[in-house]
Chain A
């Protein structure tokens, strides 16, 4: 064996100890016999390749400790003698990082699941006492309206309102938590068909707003139909809710293929969203308007975001305040059946 200077440092041998010795002294003891056989096999037809592809190789230092390595082999000739050049790389750092990364991913996955479970249990178990509070305040209102002074009645009304709001929040939280725990298996889903159904469902509101909805060709994608329905429905409901009173509402739904994704776009000519709020609208329970102006808890777009992310897509908004809003979301075309 001939060995480089770095090699002596890596293994803790002096040059004199390595030169002329068998390469096997650098192989952990347990693998030496097998290594000798493999070495003879390699010598019969030496070609450049990594050693032990897919295996986690170790080498042994002079002091008996081992280290994780990667080895590239190639055949050559030195002074007319057949030789093998083995380039040994110490990959301790990388192995350690890989291990850390794996542990982190597992930890993150666990804490994520725990959080979802927590949100689900919290919202579910919160309903029980809330139902009692709500029941008795409503009963109080039923039985004592007209028998108390106006101040007492006002207090009761505020309590009833507060309880109703909290119920709505808990229901939304539950719906949000269920997106992952109750998500269904992805199946080929015709977005055009699904959008047609949403429009049918919203027809009374669309008629009332005297709005027009134009739907261009939409693809079939792999997804959870009931969740994708929620996305389309939430975005359309928002367009209807935040329409301008200066012009009749017009909504356009279209799709375009971009590399491996479909981009679905829903455009309206409503009141629009100021640029500084474009990220906030996707956060749960964030609202840009007072309840008197526009009712709602601010969960709709957070649900859309979570659903689209569960489908490995992205959702974002483009808007010119007072001119209108375009929501775009992507869905992978990988499972797409239609062109």
Chain B
């Protein structure tokens, strides 16, 4: 069932280390009018701590969707993806890899780790806003997601 059907904002976890990028995604979501609540993890370790409820910032809601950057300090996005997708308790959370890299090796590797999709960050802001709308339209308004 989609979160919108439940009449609550969607829970998005953004895993991204660069504050300028975080803010840009926040603004794109705002411009795209996606009703959401966002949790930001600044590296791979923080992301996994939040997902396992061991975060020092307290209990974080289980995300409806993870937006995952690949190049992160401490534990990179590939490791985070591998951990999520190998854990039966977490693997049903859709993970969208959102990164600057358009390297074939990265795309191949992420799909082999069961990424739900791989998206290159558009350089153009209008395209980025559009992308955020498409993600919202597909994952939250079209796709059926499992009940938690």
Q: Range of interface residues on chain B?
A: 10 to 19
Q: Does A138 sit at the interface, judged by CB under 8 A? A: yes
Are B31's CB and A131's CB within 8 A?
A: no
Q: Does B1 sit at the interface, judged by CB under 8 A? A: no
- Interface flags for A114-136 (1: CB within 8 Å of B; 0: not) read 00000000001001101110111
**Interface 9-residue window, one of B40-48, B59-67, B117-125, B130-138:** B117-125
Tell me which residues from 123 to 177 in chain A have a Cβ below 8 Å from any Cβ of chain B: 124, 127-128, 130-132, 134-136, 138-139, 142, 167
Nearest-neighbor residue (CB-CB) of A168 within chain B: B123
- Interface flags for B8-42 (1: CB within 8 Å of A; 0: not) read 00000000001011001001000100000000000
Residues of chain A lying within 8 A (CB to CB) of residue B18? 128, 132
Nearest-neighbor residue (CB-CB) of A130 within chain B: B123
Are B123's CB and A136's CB within 8 A?
A: no
Q: Does B128 sit at the interface, judged by CB under 8 A? A: yes
Given A132-B18, A132-B20, A138 contacting B125 (CB threshold 8 A): yes
C-alpha gap A94/B126 in the complex (Å): 65
Are B100's CB and A142's CB within 8 A?
A: no
Residues of chain A lying within 8 A (CB to CB) of residue B121? 131
Are A139's CB and B124's CB within 8 A?
A: no
**Least CB distance, B127 to chain A, in whole angstroms:** 10
Q: Which of A128, A134, A136, A167 contacts B100 (CB 8 A)?
A: A128
C-alpha gap A167/B123 in the complex (Å): 8
Q: Range of interface residues on chain A?
A: 10 to 19
C-alpha gap A142/B123 in the complex (Å): 15
Nearest-neighbor residue (CB-CB) of B71 within chain A: A128
Tell me which residues from 91 to 105 in chain B have a Cβ below 8 Å from any Cβ of chain A: 100-101, 103
C-alpha gap A142/B27 in the complex (Å): 11
Interface centre among A127, A128, A135, A138 (most CB of B within 10 A): A135
Query: Chain A interface secondary structure, helix, strand, loop or mixed?
Result: helix
Residues of chain B lying within 8 A (CB to CB) of residue A131? 100, 121, 123
Are A132's CB and B125's CB within 8 A?
A: no
**Least CB distance, A136 to chain B, in whole angstroms:** 7
Residues of chain A lying within 8 A (CB to CB) of residue B125? 134-135, 138-139, 142
Are A138's CB and B100's CB within 8 A?
A: no
Nearest-neighbor residue (CB-CB) of B20 within chain A: A132
Q: Which of A124, A136, A142, A167 contacts B20 (CB 8 A)?
A: A136
Q: Which of B20, B101, B103, B124 contacts A138 (CB 8 A)?
A: B124
Are A136's CB and B31's CB within 8 A?
A: no
Nearest-neighbor residue (CB-CB) of B21 within chain A: A132
C-alpha gap A303/B101 in the complex (Å): 22
Nearest-neighbor residue (CB-CB) of B104 within chain A: A182
Residues of chain A lying within 8 A (CB to CB) of residue B31? 139, 142
Residues of chain B lying within 8 A (CB to CB) of residue A130? 123
Residues of chain A lying within 8 A (CB to CB) of residue B100? 124, 127-128, 131
**Least CB distance, B26 to chain A, in whole angstroms:** 11
Nearest-neighbor residue (CB-CB) of A167 within chain B: B123
**Least CB distance, A121 to chain B, in whole angstroms:** 11
Residues of chain A lying within 8 A (CB to CB) of residue B123? 127, 130-131, 134-135, 167
Q: Which of A127, A128, A139 contacts B27 (CB 8 A)?
A: A139
Are A134's CB and B20's CB within 8 A?
A: no
**Least CB distance, A305 to chain B, in whole angstroms:** 25
Nearest-neighbor residue (CB-CB) of B128 within chain A: A135
**Least CB distance, A157 to chain B, in whole angstroms:** 14
C-alpha gap A124/B125 in the complex (Å): 18
A-B contacts besides A124-B103, A128-B18, A135-B125, 9 pairs, CB < 8 Å: A124-B101, A127-B100, A131-B123, A132-B21, A134-B123, A134-B125, A135-B24, A136-B20, A139-B31
- Can you report 12 residue pairs joining A to B where beta carbons are below 8 Å apart? A124-B100, A124-B101, A128-B18, A130-B123, A132-B20, A134-B123, A134-B125, A135-B27, A135-B125, A139-B125, A142-B31, A167-B123
**Chain A interface residues (CB < 8 Å from chain B):** 124, 127-128, 130-132, 134-136, 138-139, 142, 167
List the 6 closest A-B pairs by CB distance, nearest first. Answer: A138-B125, A135-B24, A132-B20, A131-B123, A135-B125, A128-B100
